Structure formats: structure tokens, C-alpha cells
Structure 1
Amino acid sequence: MTAATKLLDEMCHLTAQSLITMDTSEHFKVIKLLGEGSYGKVVLAVHRKRGTPMALKFFPRESTSLFSFLREYNLSLSFCTHPSLTRALGIAYFTQSHYIFAQQASLFGDLYDVITPEVGMEEDCCQRVVSQLCGALTHLHSLGFVHRDLKPENIFLCDSACRWVKLGDFGMVKARGTRVPEVWYSSPYCTPEAEVARGNKDSWSSVNDGGFKEDEHNKKTRVWGSVEPSTDSWALGVLTYAMLTGSHPWAETADDCRSYLKYREWFERCNGPSDELEVWAEPQSQILQDAADTSKAAPVAPQFACFTQLACSFFQSLLDPRPQLRGRPEDAMCFLGGDWMREERTVRMEKERKKSSQTGAIRCMKEMEGRGQR
């Protein structure tokens, strides 16, 4: 356990003694709903006295432990000092039905809103986001924390061009090395090492506080794993693919998923299944040199054929099926700046984006005409 994780626990105990009750409507003017999920909801609000816009995050008390609420609040308040991490604003209170804290408001939605399905987003925009996320994750990992829930809905936009984004939602954050029940789920974001738990009955009683109940049968079959930063690296690789293409590289990381197996075959051809340490002992400069040399490239997996060799090396670093050898976010930074998409793919995607934009404009005009006629 790092000094930061110890300090976080101490802060939670101290904050619990000073948490106050307040009437939300008395102190804030609620503007609109920003999002909601299993955790609760987030609303955009303005502080009545200060006039400051902020996001209020509501956690139902009946399904949220006080400690898990205080842990997320204090983590965001005191440890999310990187500019690409969403920070709490020092306001935490409770009502009869909810625990609430205030955080920075991102007024341009989240990353999910700007990824066009089956098209994606512009490459330079994607690289800006990846650069910022690498910095945010590196900061968290340096403190001994792992985010564990990297996805488009948890990346918030401070402007429409993604020049400034913020990673948020720290409800799943755990300290590195924490032993947790391994849970496999059908998603491209689920790491391949979690497949050992596939088929186990999931019996979590509360995702928020990390508690669970299990019967005698589950005690025999439950698989335990260690929380590691490599989980975030895998999610960053899948997320980057989604940003560039508007789709996922595979439906799930399972041995019976054809698209994932194609990737594994390509990965093993490129890296070799033997002597893992020797393969990854190459200096980073040599890896980059090989990435630029297309003559060394093995036949690519079909879903990665649209990418340059540099981008393929980026993906193979983060999407290494071997968690102990998976690339770190800070290592991924060296792949930024060059071309990631092949030229013919870039031209086709640009045409599709223009077509999508024109279709949206026509739909908007028709809706306005319809309102005018009414």
C-alpha cells in the first residue's frame, strides 16, 4: 500500500465526522440532468451565492455505503490534481435519500457523444485524447491507484474539439495489488486474463463498496485476482480503436470469439509465443524503428488492416494478452505524432464523416420545419 492510499483511508474517516446535511434546492439551482447509471445521477447546477457552475453527483443512500462515497469524493478532491482528471470542489453533504458531492462540470458532454458509429473521429483529435489520457492514467498509477473503468462515457469534454478532456467516475478505483474477485463479462474492454472466471456465478451485493455474498458452491469456484495498472492499459487500447473506427476490434476477449482469435494469431506471429522476456527486452527506440519498417510486418489481423505499422505497434503494446508484459500508458506516448491511419482509409472515412454530417443537418432542418408548421 502506497502513502497515497493510506492517506486516502485516513481522509475518509476524518471527512465522515464532518459531513453535514443540506437542502440541495436551497443552495443550488439545478439546470439539467447530465447523466445517470447504476451509481446514481449527475446534474448540472449553479451555486446560488457564488454563481459557479458545477456538477452534483448523487448517490442513493440505500445502495451506497458511506465509506465508498467518501472514498470517491476524497480521491477526486485531493489526488486528481492532473489537468485531465475530474476534480471534486470541496462540497460534500447528504440528504434523507442521497449522498452528494460537487465536482468540475464539463459542459460539452462525454467522448461517447463525438464518436460516430462505424466511422469514428478524426485521427488528430483521437491522438489529442490519447495523449491526455496517458497523462491522467500515469498520474493515478504513480500514486498507486488503478481506474478500472476506462470507457467513452467516463471521459468528459471541456470543449467541442477534444483539446481538453477529463477522465472521471472514480467509483471503481482500487489500490494497486488489492485482491478482488475476478469477474469476466462479455465486452471488448474485459481483459483476457479475466477469462479464467468465465462461467462463475457473480454474486456481488454492492459494486459501490466492493462487498459480495457467496454460498458454499461459489466459495469453491471463485477466482481471485490482483488489481494492476495493466487493466487500464488494455482498456486504453480498446478505447483508442473505438475512437478511430467507431467500432470495437472484437465482441469479447474469449477463446471462442473469432475476431479476437484472429488478433491473437497475428500478435503471436509478430511477437513469438516463446521467451516473453527476451521479446520485450528490446529498447523502445528499436521498437519504434521496427514499427516504421513495413518489411518486418507480419500479415495483419483483418480488423487492424486499416492502420499503419506505427499504429499496429501501439495497439500490440497496449493489447498484449500477457498482462505482465503489457505496455504502460506512459510508454504509449512514444507512438503519438505519426500517421496511424492508412491514406486510403483516411480518405474514405472523411467522405463518410461528411455524409454523416450532411445527413444530420438535413434531419435537423426537417425537424425545424416540422416545428414551424405546427
Structure 2
Amino acid sequence: MTAATAQQELDERCFLSAQSMLTLKVSEHFQVLKLLGEGSYGKVMLAVHRKRGTPMALKFFPRQSTSLTSFMREYNLSLSYCTHPSLTRALGIFFSTPTYYVFAQQAGLYGDLYSVIVSEVGVDEECVQRVMSQLSGAVTHLHSLGFVHRDIKPENIFLCDSSCRWVKLGDFGLARAIGSSVRAVWYESPFCTPEVEPAKEAMQELERREGTEEEEEEEVEDIWISVETTIDSWALGVLVYCLLTGCFPWEESTQDDRGYRRYKEWFYRQAQREERYKDEEWVEEAPVRSCTVGQMDERPPSQFAGLSSLAMTLLKELLHPEPKLRGSPEEILSYLGGPWLMETEMEERRKAEEAEKELRKIREGGGVEEELVREGRGER
């Protein structure tokens, strides 16, 4: 399905659904049990349908701050396109109250991913790979239907069990069709892609003008960007790092951030070095060169010190500073099974060396026994 077709189909679904919007009293149809979460969008309550006895999550959007269009878009996208097992799906129930728009969705009864990440520790490496495998499939599925999530973060990944064996990506309020244009909005977060840095500069320019008495009152023009799947790739890369370390690699993806700047400089040094290795003449000269400086250049920035070479290769794919060269979420599957932490990599290497030693002993022992047998037979 093309992005244009996806957007047109979603718009039609929204238009038809809006015609059948009912006004209900929540207490007459649902038993509300507890608050599951809240944010700028509104709140989510755990509830049980009084007639069906079905547990579900009711998502409340304040009518004062939510347009009917945005409400219907999120509801219909979740209902009709979130058919992957790791995408949170709406349940076909939507209505309004005097103060809210509401729709029902599958409930994540064990909280969100943010609640299980231990600060400066992360989560178990096996758990990380399990979660990322599911999210890779979910996001790839959403992309195949023509949409980009645009808001992947731990708070929007819900747990269906306490061990993260089944997770669901939710909150599709920012999801848009691939190729559509949206106003670039910068926000201070590692999940914010570097391609919207110009929006930060525009915002700073506007603040500067407001604080002066300049005669020119020209407004800073809005910066528009195209919605591409690589937005989700970047967020998944940051999420991998967050789960493995319990930290973020940087505070914001701009040149003003020292952590990101060091990563970007290292990234391009690596890219240049790889290009040089492709030159056969340079490879022939390499053995006679001193590698001390090269080895120093190879080391990732200090915030990546605990990650294995396999994890760093994956992160370089997902966290490519240039969006057009960024890897796809599906590529995560190619990196599953190997060590993502340095400790695990070293342990696997140690086990491999021990296994090699044992094999060598067996071979050497087998050679001695064979020689003794030959001598016993009088063979030379």
C-alpha cells in the first residue's frame, strides 16, 4: 500500500466513523478500576465492560484540547492498521462525554517498559534482544502499511507480562503517513532526530528577537520535513542503548550536546576509515604504518564503553546522522543472538577459548593413543 493510498483510506475511515459517534455515560457501561497512565494527551484508565466483563483500557482525550480529527485519526489507525501482535489495537468502542473523547484499547496490565528499566543498569541483555525483536516486527509491519509511528520511547511500550516476553507499542497520536509533510518541532530529547536541529535554531532566533526592540518584525518561517521511516529507526537505536545501559547516549541530538557531537565525530572518522580500507592500494601500505593513532580513533566515545562490537555495528546502522543512510528497523533481526554487552562478548570468547583447548587436548591425546596402538601391532 502506498503512503498516499494509506492516508486516503485512513481519512475515509475517520469521516465515516465520525458520523456514528455516540455520547455515553462512562459509569453506565464501564466499571473504572484504576489509572494506568496520563500525559499531555489525556489519561488512560483500566476498566471492565459491564455487559461483556472484558477488561480494557479507556483512553480519555480532553475535548477542550483535542480536535475531533486527531482523535478519530488515532482511533482508526489503531483499530484498522495495528494488526501485528506487538502493536496495541483499539477494540471498536469509541464515544464522547461532555468533556472527553474516549476509545477502548487492549490493556497493558503490567505497566510500561520505562517502569522496568533500572537506572544506569538497564535490563537483562536477553530481555533487550527479546523486546527489540518484537518491536522490529511491529514497526516494520506499520511501515509496510504506509505509516510512521514517530513517538517510540519506553513510556509508549506496554507490557503484557512481568518478564517482557510480550510487549506492545502504543500511542499513535503522532503517527503519520510516509512521505507526508509535518512542521519540524524540536524538543530536548535523545529520541528527537538530528534532522530537526534547524527547528531549534529557528526557535532560538525567535526567542532572541522577542527579547530585543528590532524594527523588523519578520516572523521566523516554519521548517517542514518529510515523514520517513528513518525517524522510527533513530528512536529504536536510542531505545537499544537505553535498555542496555539504563542511560541515554546524549541529552539532545544536536551539535550543542557534547555527547552527541563526540559520537558524530567518531562516526564520520569510522566512515572515512572504512572508505580508505576499500582502496586496495591503501590496504597494501597499511602494514608498515603505525596503528596507535588509528586504534585510538577506532574507540567509540566513552558512553559506549560497555557495548560489544556487534551492538556498536547495529547502533551505527540505526543512529546514522544522515537520515537517508539510516538502517531500517528490520535490520535489528540480523543482530539477534550475538552478544550486545562487552561482558557477554568477553565471556563468550573465554568459553570459546576453553572449548578450543579441550578440543586440542582430545586431538593430542588421540594422536598418542593411535601411536601406542600402532607400536603394539608392530607397525612402523
TM superposition score normalised by structure 2: 0.79
Structure 2 distance, partners of 1:235, 1:62, is 30
- State the Cα distance separating 1:253 from its structure 2 match: 1.1
- State the Cα distance separating 1:200 from its structure 2 match: 2.6
Residue in 1 aligned with 2:104? 102
CA contact (8 A) 2:249 2:259 kept: yes
Q: Count residues with an aligned counterpart.
A: 317
- Report 1:297-316 matches (<5 A): 298-316=298-316
- State the Cα distance separating 1:219 from its structure 2 match: 4.9
Residue in 2 aligned with 1:284? none
Please give the secondary structure, in 2, of the residue aligned with 1:198.
helix
State the AA in 1 paired with 2:173: G
Residue in 1 aligned with 2:151? 149
Please give the secondary structure, in 2, of the residue aligned with 1:189.
coil
Residue in 1 aligned with 2:22? 20
Residue in 1 aligned with 2:130? 128
Residue in 2 aligned with 1:212? none
Residue in 1 aligned with 2:67? 65
User: What's the C-alpha RMSD, in Å, of the aligned pairs?
Assistant: 2.3
The correspondence for 2:190, drawn from 172, 188, 191, is: 188
Residue in 2 aligned with 1:340? 340
Q: What does the per-residue CA deviation read over 1:243-281, in whole Å, with 9 as the maximum and x for residues that have no partner?
A: 111100011111121111111122112212998xx99xx
Structure 2 distance, partners of 1:93, 1:234, is 35
State the AA in 2 paired with 1:340: W
State the AA in 1 paired with 2:320: D
Cα–Cα, structure 1 residues 28 and 346, in superposed 2: closer, same or farther, change >3 Å? farther
Structure 2 distance, partners of 1:262, 1:218, is 36
CA contact (8 A) 2:311 2:341 kept: yes
The answer as to 2:238 corresponding to 1:232 is no
CA contact (8 A) 1:200 1:218 kept: no
- Identity between Structure 1 and Structure 2 (%): 60
Cα–Cα, structure 1 residues 345 and 309, in superposed 2: closer, same or farther, change >3 Å? closer
CA contact (8 A) 2:88 2:106 kept: yes
Q: What does the per-residue CA deviation read over 1:154-200, in whole Å, with 9 as the maximum and x for residues that have no partner?
A: 00000011110000000000111111111222111111111111133
- State the Cα distance separating 1:296 from its structure 2 match: 12
- Report 1:272-291 matches (<5 A): 272=272
Residue in 1 aligned with 2:378? none
CA contact (8 A) 2:202 2:220 kept: no
Cα–Cα, structure 1 residues 334 and 70, in superposed 2: closer, same or farther, change >3 Å? same
Q: What does the per-residue CA deviation read over 1:94-121, in whole Å, with 9 as the maximum and x for residues that have no partner?
A: 1111110000011000000000011100
Please give the secondary structure, in 2, of the residue aligned with 1:252.
coil
Q: Which runs of 5+ in 2 are unaligned?
A: 205-215, 280-294, 348-380
- Report 1:216-231 matches (<5 A): 219-231=219-231
- State the Cα distance separating 1:307 from its structure 2 match: 1.1
Residue in 1 aligned with 2:246? 246
The answer as to 2:327 corresponding to 1:327 is yes
TM superposition score normalised by structure 1: 0.81
State the AA in 2 paired with 1:341: L
Structure 1 distance, partners of 2:78, 2:20, is 18
CA contact (8 A) 2:186 2:192 kept: yes
Residue in 1 aligned with 2:266? 266
Q: What does the per-residue CA deviation read over 1:115-162, in whole Å, with 9 as the maximum and x for residues that have no partner?
A: 001110000001111011111110111111110100000000000111
Structure 2 distance, partners of 1:2, 1:137, is 19
Cα–Cα, structure 1 residues 335 and 62, in superposed 2: closer, same or farther, change >3 Å? same
Q: What does the per-residue CA deviation read over 1:202-239, in whole Å, with 9 as the maximum and x for residues that have no partner?
A: 9xxxxxxxxxxxxx967543211111111110010001
Structure 1 distance, partners of 2:27, 2:52, is 14
The correspondence for 1:93, drawn from 92, 95, 113, is: 95
Structure 2 distance, partners of 1:270, 1:94, is 54
Structure 1 distance, partners of 2:86, 2:103, is 19
Structure 1 distance, partners of 2:142, 2:218, is 33
Structure 2 distance, partners of 1:239, 1:227, is 20
State the AA in 2 paired with 1:4: A
Please give the secondary structure, in 1, of the residue aligned with 2:190.
coil
Structure 1 distance, partners of 2:346, 2:106, is 35
CA contact (8 A) 2:308 2:345 kept: no
State the AA in 2 paired with 1:54: M
Larger gyration radius, structure 1 or structure 2: 2
CA contact (8 A) 1:77 1:89 kept: yes
Structure 2 distance, partners of 1:329, 1:219, is 38
Structure 2 distance, partners of 1:136, 1:81, is 9
Question: Does 184-193 or 229-238 show the bigger shift?
Answer: 184-193
